[in-house]
Amino acid sequence: MSEDLRASDEDRHRVVDALQRHTEAGRLTLDEFTERVDSAYAARTLAELSAVTRDLPAEPVTTPAAPDTGRRDLLVIFAIAAAALVLLLVFMGLTR
């Protein structure tokens, strides 16, 4: 991607979020954070935006969390119990 491209609001928000995480980690003081946030919001191109975080380490890429299968398992158990109840009612109705 060319760094001459115009930065979007989403690009700016992403950089500000990264600056916040770096500040929380102790890499930036509050004054540095404020200056860099101002620069990020004033950036017009991706090159200007990347200059704001150039001296900071790259953040680890996070993978999306696996979906919670506990709820699905509970639904399967409920469906089996409901089916067993229906079969029991049918059996009781036929044996009367």
Tell me if 36 sits within 8 A of 73, measured CB to CB: no
pLDDT band at 6 (very low <50, low <70, confident <90, very high): very high
pLDDT of 24-80, one tens digit each?
999 999 999 999 999 999 999 999 999 999 999 987 766 666 666 677 788 888 899
Tell me if 27 sits within 8 A of 56, measured CB to CB: yes
The sign of the torsion formed by the CA atoms of 20, 41, 8, 3 equals negative
CB atoms within 10 A of CB 95: 6
Question: What's the pLDDT at 63?
Answer: 61
Residue 87 confidence (pLDDT) above 70: yes
- Residue 45 DSSP label: B
66: left (phi over 0), alpha (psi -120 to 50) or beta: beta
Residue spans of the domains in the chain: they are 9-94
Tell me if 33 sits within 8 A of 20, measured CB to CB: yes
Residue 91 confidence (pLDDT) above 60: yes
Residue 96 confidence (pLDDT) above 80: no
pLDDT band at 3 (very low <50, low <70, confident <90, very high): low
Question: What's the pLDDT at 19?
Answer: 95
